[in-house]
Structure 1
Amino acid sequence: MTEPGRVSEQPGGEPTFRDPDDLIRRAGVRGDSDRDQHFLIDDRVLDRIPGYLPDGADASHLLEIGGGTGALTDRLLTVGERVTVVERDPRLAAFLRREFASEVEDGRLDVVEGDALSVPLPDFTACVSNLPYGVSSEIAFRLLPRGRPLVLMFQKEFAERMVAEPGTDEYGRLSVSAQHYADVELVEPVPPTAFSPPPAVDSAVVRATPREPEYEVDDEAFFLDFVKAMFTQRRKTIRNAIRNTTHITGIADAEAVLDAVDEDLLRRRAGKLAPSQFAALASVAAERGRGDGDGSG
């Protein structure tokens, strides 16, 4: 007889997972919108999420940020050889250790109590998570540079900006920065009713498949700062954006940069430029504008 709360198998060999509502009841908690806690309770969505990992992804050590009451953790344990969950709520971290005690004892599950923005992250092979929306950007950009496959739940508006193409209204700093690290795709929209309590916004699952960019970047930090600077002036031409943002980029000689850039590019606006064009501009800006201050590089 299967213990309460444990995974059993149907006659066909398919696993039967813990019921998300039962997990919430056993944990003795309620989701709290004020604390950015929205528990994913739709079994169909939960079942699909691990399947969005890219084909051939290494699932030997999966990372989950924000384990909550363990509904997604339950599924990840059938996909990954080992799972590490980072959970900032002490009550939920303790519950996960109790609920999945056998997996913890077997060394298949490690529950890390702490803030995902500050705790040391393990050397994971892929990350699958329903992120806290209030810090989703910060967490995403802690994960993306690691060069691992990611399947992450975001606010839908954020996800749409993440995957946006040049020339669209949604395209911006987030699009360029995310696409610098990976091919990003919105793989499933998720309605508020899939959560408890329902958030005030629609959600979406994004898959990020890491790859090297098609362009060279010598100074990644400067490149990302340069992109940020250009989009603070997105209604301005690139010419004026470079002139107006030296306090962000640290460019000492904006005119030397402008003299080295094609006139057609200078007349365009940030929202029309592909990531490769930002990389080329940043390279010129670093060489001509950040030298010894005389513009000679």
Structure 2
Amino acid sequence: MKKYKPSFNKPSAKDDQGVRAKKHLGQHFLTDENIASKIADTLSYEGYDKVLEIGPGMGVLTKYLLEKKSEIHVIEIDTESVEYLESNYLHLRGRIHEKDFLKHDLSQIFRDEQFAIIGNFPYNISTQIVFKVLELREQIPEFSGMFQKEVAKRICEKEGNKTYGILSVLTQAFYEAEYLFTVPPSVFNPPPKVDSGVLRLTRKDNFTLPCDEKLFFRVVKTAFNQRRKTMRNSLKIFNLPDNLREDAIFGLRPEQLSFQQFIELTQKIEPYAISGK
């Protein structure tokens, strides 16, 4: 495939210097072209024709996304990065959104359309990005990108491990989670102090829970907030009857339960929690 080359206006001094990474925004700009290309290839580009990149910076990933047969949008909170992209990526004209991803109403960009999300995510907001994706899962069939390695591993972790937690259960209830590859600090400017990890989430065909969704989230969060306790003790707040609390599942600790078991547990609790019995 012919490589995309950004369309340049006559560069300004700021363009020549690039964009300054800003610590308060958690910016670490990827500089390795091969890794950028590999990340762009993590999406299937099937079942949707629009892609949103979060935090494109100077566009090292963006240019590989623009090779794909999809309509690429980028959302960037950093004004300096936006100015750079507008000057150097003319193909993105009208699709550069200077907004805060966590606060912006994405229906203003995509309405009810299906779209994928990708990016080199700032470490300081990466988990919040995942929670927003879960809220918008009816529109997001696929999600991939780079996180701090520890966070990426946690999202993809299975039950029975210490790193398995709230984010693991809630994400895996709706998406198939795959840890793809590790990225060293040396390929960033400035380099972070830890390794990064790239993952992919693929929405499950049946991503509607067979239980009350709000209660499911509450049960998972309540259990892991006291992860050293058994479910019998950590879920006392629900005032469940003694005969129900004798069920074997209540003798387990939260990291021992798969997301399917958390769904089953929520179904057991639901008649009491919802009705107030």
Equivalent AA in structure 2 for residue 68 of structure 1: G
Separation in 2 of the partners of 1:263 and 1:285?
A: 11
Amino acid across the alignment from 1:49: I
Structure 1 residue aligned with 2:270: 286
Contact in 2 for aligned 1:59/1:80 (Cα 8 Å): no
Paired residue total: 264
Do the aligned partners of 2:4 and 2:64 also contact (CA within 8 Å) in 1? Answer: no
Structure with greater Cα Rg: 1
| 1:127-146 deviation line (CA, Å, top 9, x unaligned) | 12111111111111212342
Q: CA RMSD in A?
A: 2.3
Range 40-49 or range 137-146, more displaced = 137-146
- Aligned AA for 1:38? H
2:39 is the counterpart of 1:49: yes
2:95 is aligned with 1:110: yes
Equivalent pair of 2:154/2:163 in contact (CA under 8 Å): yes
CA 1:196 to 1:135, structure 2 compared with 1: closer, same or farther past 3 Å? Answer: same
- The within-5 A match list for 1:12-161 is 14-15=2-3, 17=5, 26=16, 28-54=18-44, 57-58=46-47, 60-101=49-90, 103-105=91-93, 110-121=95-106, 122-123=109-110, 124-144=114-134, 145-146=136-137, 147-161=140-154
How far apart, in 1, do the equivalents of 2:99 and 2:24 lie? 18
TM-score between both structures, scaled by the size of structure 1: 0.82
Matching residue of 2:211: 218
Q: How far did residue 180 of structure 1 move?
A: 1.1
The 5 Å alignment of 1:234-249 reads 234-243=227-236, 246=237
Letter matched to residue 104 of structure 1: L
Deviations 1:196-217 (A, max 9, x none): 1001111011100100458843
Tell me which residue corresponds to 1:3.
none
Give ranges in structure 2 of 5+ residues lacking alignment. Answer: none
- Please tell me whether residue 202 in structure 1 is matched to residue 195 in structure 2: yes
Confirm or deny: 8 A CA contact 1:66 1:87 kept in the other structure: yes
The reply on whether 1:188 has 2:165 as its aligned counterpart is no
Unaligned runs of at least 5 residues, structure 1: 1-12
Q: Percent identity?
A: 32
SS at match of 2:240: helix
TM value normalised by structure 2: 0.87
Answer 1 or 2: higher relative contact order, Cα 8 Å, separation at least 6: 2
In 2, Cα distance between the equivalents of 1:290 and 1:179? Answer: 24
Q: Distance in 2 between matches of 1:174 and 1:210?
A: 15
Contact residue 117 and residue 139 of structure 1 kept, 8 A: yes
